[in-house]
């Protein structure tokens, strides 16, 4: 934990209430020798550690994105429904709201986020709030606020309350000067998107907090994640989700990447399994704080060929989006995840044929698919 200097109660309240009503903090008040986040919590704010309870108490930020709802379902099955709190700044669908605890949490509101952690005795925090690659390029100031300022809030709260913190990283954390085939865990990283820059920042800050303050920080670099129960959210790899929806609805798909653009991909069940496994891994087994994980790597053309086994009349056309294509061309083609496989036994279950079969089993009641089957 950080070395913390004690300040008076009035100063403490001032330091932690310097934000504006919009949820975005104002310039913090500074005191000599005191960081606004390095404030001792009162004895009443003690947070139960994992060793003091049968199960962790989990908070998931940004929980209504592609991964949060599925992760909550997996963790609730393992740790109990009421031990996993899903949070976001958007209104959840009824099925999500009634499936388990849900609360409003704005990661840019440090004071409120800290209260949530304290009042709910959180011990594990999964930080999924972020703007993705293409969306982030369209609104850099917002991406900077959410992806970087929000991360700083989470890091400080996790260090103060001795949480086990998971922050996902991405293939976007690499750049055009990184080795692309394969890309190892440790190499040059010079991303050219605000999303990628913010993720490199998260990796390094998490590692720094681990070595400087003892924070139990854990991070996985996700490849493109494919799932049947979410809509594309503005990522460069989202074509690999949209193709299934369009194949079923119209039998036509227009891809915004070149047909030969190879990127690492993963089915969501493998992604969630890896996330839980790395969080449960003994600390002594981890030789690093950030790991690559991978399952498969394919191009739009190879994916289309697999999809056409179920929808033979699928018409695939290409209208290249130069922004997304430039992003994809700077990313890895294949991940080297040998360290994850060695240190904590990572092993994927889904290759490309299994992925496509599973996606259509969830999405496809269409006559074209029934005839193909």
What tokens appear for 62 in the block?
């940004």
Q: Which residue has the tokens 């890091």?
A: 155
Inter-residue contact 372 to 357 (CB < 8 Å) = no
What tokens appear for 209 in the block?
């907090």
CA distance 207 to 204: 5
What tokens appear for 139 in the block?
């609104």
Query: Which helix (H) or strand (E) covers residue 78, if one does?
Result: helix 68-79
Backbone angles phi, psi at 34, to 5 degrees: -125, 125
Which residue of the set 98, 110, 128, 195 is catalytic? 195
Inter-residue contact 291 to 221 (CB < 8 Å) = yes
Backbone angles phi, psi at 124, to 5 degrees: -120, 135
Count Cβ neighbours within 10 Å for each residue of 92-106 and write b for 16 or more, e otherwise: beeebeebbbbeebb
Q: Is 195 a catalytic residue?
A: yes
Inter-residue contact 248 to 313 (CB < 8 Å) = no
Q: How far apart are the first and last CA of the chain?
A: 57
Inter-residue contact 60 to 128 (CB < 8 Å) = yes
Q: Give 310-325 as a DSSP string.
A: TSTT-EEEE---HHHH
The answer for residues whose C-beta is within 8 angstroms of residue 229's C-beta and 6 or more apart is 69, 70, 362
Report how far apart, in Å, the C-alpha atoms of 332 and of each of 134, 229, 255, 264, 338 are. 17, 26, 19, 7, 15
CA distance 10 to 194: 37
CA distance 30 to 9: 15
Query: Which helix (H) or strand (E) covers residue 291, if one does?
Result: strand 290-292
Positions marked active-site: 195
């Amino acid at each position: 934990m950080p070395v913390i200097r004690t300040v008076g109660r009035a100063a403490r309240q001032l330091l932690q209430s310097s934000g504006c009503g919009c949820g975005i903090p104002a310039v913090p008040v500074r005191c000599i020798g005191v960081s606004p986040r390095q404030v001792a919590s009162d004895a009443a704010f003690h947070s139960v550690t994992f060793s003091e309870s049968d199960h962790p108490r989990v908070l998931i930020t940004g929980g209504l994105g592609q991964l949060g709802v599925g992760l909550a379902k997996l963790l609730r099955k393992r740790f109990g429904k009421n031990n996993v709190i899903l949070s976001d700044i958007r209104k959840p669908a009824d099925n999500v709201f009634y499936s388990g605890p849900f609360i409003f949490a704005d990661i840019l509101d440090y004071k409120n986020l800290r209260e949530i952690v304290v009042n709910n005795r959180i011990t594990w925090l999964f930080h999924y709030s972020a703007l993705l690659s293409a969306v982030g390029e369209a609104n850099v100031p917002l991406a900077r606020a959410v992806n970087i300022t929000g991360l700083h809030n989470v890091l400080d709260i996790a260090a103060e309350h001795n949480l086990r913190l998971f922050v996902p990283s991405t293939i976007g954390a690499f750049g055009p000067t990184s080795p692309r085939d394969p890309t190892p865990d440790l190499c040059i990283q010079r991303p050219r998107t605000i999303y990628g820059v913010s993720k490199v920042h998260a990796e390094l800050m998490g590692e720094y907090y681990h070595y400087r303050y003892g924070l139990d920080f854990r991070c996985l670099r996700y490849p493109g994640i494919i799932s049947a129960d979410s809509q594309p959210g503005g990522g460069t790899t989202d074509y690999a989700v949209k193709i299934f929806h369009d194949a079923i609805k119209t039998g036509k798909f227009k891809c915004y990447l070149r047909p030969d653009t190879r990127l690492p991909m993963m089915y969501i069940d493998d992604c969630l399994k890896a996330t839980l496994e790395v969080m449960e891994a003994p600390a002594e087994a981890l030789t690093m704080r950030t790991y690559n994980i991978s399952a498969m790597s394919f191009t739009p053309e190879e994916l289309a060929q697999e999809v056409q086994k179920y929808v033979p009349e699928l018409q695939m056309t290409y209208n290249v989006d130069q922004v997304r294509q430039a992003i994809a061309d700077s990313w890895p083609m294949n991940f080297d995840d040998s360290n994850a496989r060695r240190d904590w036994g990572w092993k994927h279950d889904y290759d490309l044929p299994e992925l496509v079969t599973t996606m259509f089993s969830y999405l496809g009641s269409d006559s074209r698919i029934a005839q193909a089957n």
